[in-house]
Amino acid sequence: MTITKAIIVAGGASSRMNGTDKIFAEIAGKPVIAHTLDAFERCEAINGIVLVLPNKSIDKARELIAKYNYKKIEVICEGGSTRQQSVNNGLKSTPKCDFVLVHDGARPCVTKEAIESGITEAIKEGIAIAASPVSDTIKEVDDSLMVSKTLDRNKLMSIHTPQVFRYDILKEVHSNPAFDATDDAALAEKIGYKVKVYIDSYENIKITTIADLTIAEAILSSREKEA
């Protein structure tokens, strides 16, 4: 049996949310983080969850866990000053397993299918990350905001989470990180690992602004109606 643990990282400062704590903002009848946790709680492929939060949010999270009767959350730990540090803190609290899935707590529209696809691909490749094709034209600019080149969007992907790693790979990646990265796959790439991308839904958005709450609510409410 393959044992897979999930690290849900929700340690951000919500700096672009005009004072709103995005993790506990309510959409479609629940806080954002509850929608995220629901997906992992219900997924049979996930054997345990480590939740990473700012210290100030831990008591509130414990109340939420009791309210929604989550059973898979094994550890709640404090995040660091960067996302990378937060993931590393969560990894240190994760019992040894076969695979570790890292997911942003602020992506409440993640689906069971995205979680399971990531695990399936990681079993074959060692690392697998969710992504969607870029639909806009992307231009590289210089310091003066003058266009230096237009990139081929057919070769560009917008990277999401989940990102799934063989446990030993993620431990190695975080044991001596070569630089500060915004995602764990970049650290793995830096030391020579090949990273498999699998196609994820455009709906798996990350909450970064107030407007994103409205979009996520529409997505989740639509799913509830369809169900």
Q: Helix 32-42 crosses helix 58-68 at what angle (to 10 degrees)?
A: 50
The CATH number that applies at residue 35 is: 3.90.550.10
Integer Cα distance of 64 and 102 in angstroms: 21
> How many structural domains are present in the chain?
1
Q: What is the pLDDT of residues 58-102, one digit of tens each?
A: 999 999 999 999 999 999 999 998 899 999 999 999 999 999 999
pLDDT digits (tens, 9 = 90+) for 154-181: 999 999 999 999 999 999 999 877 678 8
Q: What is the pTM of this model?
A: 0.93
pLDDT at 23 over 60: yes
Range of the domain at 107: 4-226
Distance of alpha carbon 186 from alpha carbon 179, whole angstroms: 9
Alpha-carbon span 40 to 103, nearest angstrom: 10
Q: Is 57 exposed, middle or buried (0-12, 13-18, 19+ CB in 10 A)?
A: buried
